[in-house]
Amino acid sequence: MSEKIRKAGRHVTQSEALIFETSAAGKHAYSLPPLDVPGVEAAKTLGTEQVRREIEGFPEVSEIEIIRHFTRLSTWNYGVDTGMYPLGSCTMKYNARVNEVVARLEGLATEHPCQPDELSQGCLKILRLLERCLREITGMDAVTLQPAAGAHGELTGVLIIRAYQESKGDPREVILVPDSAHGTNPATAATAGYRVENIKSNRAGRMDLGSLRERMTERVAGLMITNPNTLGIFETDILEIAEVVHHRGGLVYMDGANMNALVGVARPGDFGMDIIHLNLHKTFSTPHGGGGPGAGPVAVKKFLEPFLPVPVLEERPGGTLRWNAERPQSIGRVRAFGGNFGVLVRALAYILANGPDGLLATTRDAVLNANYMRKQLEGAYELPYQSPSLHECVFSDKKQARHGVTTMDIAKRLIDYGFHPYTVAFPLIVQGALMIEPTESESQEELELFIEAMRAIAAEAETEPELVKTAPHTTRVKRLDEVTANRKPILRWKPAPTPEAAD
């Protein structure tokens, strides 16, 4: 194939420079009739600063060329719609299309949040029903749908702890967080004005009860715990943990990001949790990533209900719903209107489409898939904790590190095999972690392919470690300098400096 044809994009490895090569002066992607208002001249009427100047070197292309350019770029993305996305802790499950259909129904998509309550009864009923479903799933008593993400839910929850204890004249200073926690947990506690103290994990990968008993004093406002924890291991001492914290007047906050392991099987409200957030963009299949929008509803026990953010949905006699903002003990508003409505609609669609039996089957399949993965890979990769896995499994790069190959190298090589990497180097208690969460969305055939790739990379690490350490090799962009990519990202096209400007 000639270099010219290859570059022109008749082949899969199309060049991003193509748009510059097809550019020719005077091409347009639009055409407007000439301005026919007498006496108007854009620069004079609008002022010169309002009129866009020509950008030196900016490509000039036709409509079909620009359409092809952006469509081509869109095919270079990797997403859950193109392949498995085993990013542990993130629960990158399939975003069912039925959710999208429902969220686009005209009455829902075009509803204005400033409409009076009496004209929004349908939308309010949807929110009310979602609250009810989440109460049922978590075993809690009241829900706010306002928070826009998991971390935002955490902050809402920890502010509720603060408001509750202050209302009892017992303000406290410390939040306990296990050493396996997601980074948002200590960050949240610090943002809410608490000092963070760490609780160690034991050899089984669970929270160390002795360490908790030692730290749990009257200065401690509460514990933030993830269950199953970030090793994918269920905290079997959870009842005792809750009792230790409650006994000293603390509250237990559960990070519910791992609810994909529990929905339909166990309810945090039944095992002593006081507050929990849910990540609808994880467990409940709403779109994930790209900075949102997401949703991180918070569910609480009855005694914490007065502290929920305002406004709160209330049912009037006769069944009409209205927002009530007159709640003197509320922590205040945490988000505009009722939260990210379109996301909430998608989550409800997912819950109703599955029904109770479907949600239970989903949980079971997610756990089954993770355990299949664990069993198939435990010969090739070190498994630092032997306790049973729920919805994800965490390996380490110990075997490969002997050949100088790290979890980051393995992740990069996985891209050559056509997969999105797993989560790298988290949780922090595992040196060189590989955290894999297949979710229930993947078929056995897809799991087999991933397992084959992971085994092949383990073999390469022994025989050809350089190949792994310099990966990826088949991508358009080779291994990036991660620090520069982070600190000085190039996010948009800029004209090359002209020789005069450079002087």
What is the secondary structure of 116-159 as a DSSP string? -GGG-HHHHHHHHHHHHHHHHHHT-SEEE---SSHHHHHHHHHH
Q: What sign does the dihedral 124-127-131-133 (CA atoms) show? A: positive
Q: Where are the alpha helices (DSSP H) in 328-397?
A: 341-377
Identify which of residues 91 and 400 has a Cβ nearer to ligand PLP in the complex: 91
Residue 395 beta carbon to ligand PLP: minimum distance, rounded to whole angstroms? 18
Residue 192 beta carbon to ligand PLP: minimum distance, rounded to whole angstroms? 15
Q: With both helix axes pointing from N to C terminus, report the angle between 150-167 and 184-191 in degrees, rounded to the nearest 10.
A: 40
Identify which of residues 226 and 354 has a Cβ nearer to ligand PLP in the complex: 226
The answer to whether the CB of 175 falls within 8 A of the CB of 158 is yes
Distance from the Cα of residue 367 to its chain's centroid = 19
Identify which of residues 19 and 343 has a Cβ nearer to ligand PLP in the complex: 343
The answer to whether the CB of 415 falls within 8 A of the CB of 450 is no
Identify which of residues 69 and 341 has a Cβ nearer to ligand PLP in the complex: 341
Identify which of residues 122 and 183 has a Cβ nearer to ligand PLP in the complex: 183
Whether the ω angle into residue 356 lies within 30 degrees of 0, i.e. cis, is: no
347 CB neighbour count, 10 Å cutoff: 25
Identify which of residues 59 and 294 has a Cβ nearer to ligand PLP in the complex: 294
Residue 294 beta carbon to ligand PLP: minimum distance, rounded to whole angstroms? 5
Residue 47 beta carbon to ligand PLP: minimum distance, rounded to whole angstroms? 43
Identify which of residues 211 and 279 has a Cβ nearer to ligand PLP in the complex: 279
Residue 427 beta carbon to ligand PLP: minimum distance, rounded to whole angstroms? 9
| Structure-token pair, residue 279 | 């990540």
Q: What angle do CA 486, 492, 493 make, to 5 degrees?
A: 130
Q: Which residue is nearest to ligand PLP (CB)?
A: 150
Residue 104 beta carbon to ligand PLP: minimum distance, rounded to whole angstroms? 23
| Structure-token pair, residue 59 | 């490509």
Residue 278 beta carbon to ligand PLP: minimum distance, rounded to whole angstroms? 10
Distance from the Cα of residue 4 to its chain's centroid = 42
Interacting residues with ligand PLP (CB under 6 A): 89-90, 149-151, 182, 184, 226, 230, 255, 257, 279, 294, 296
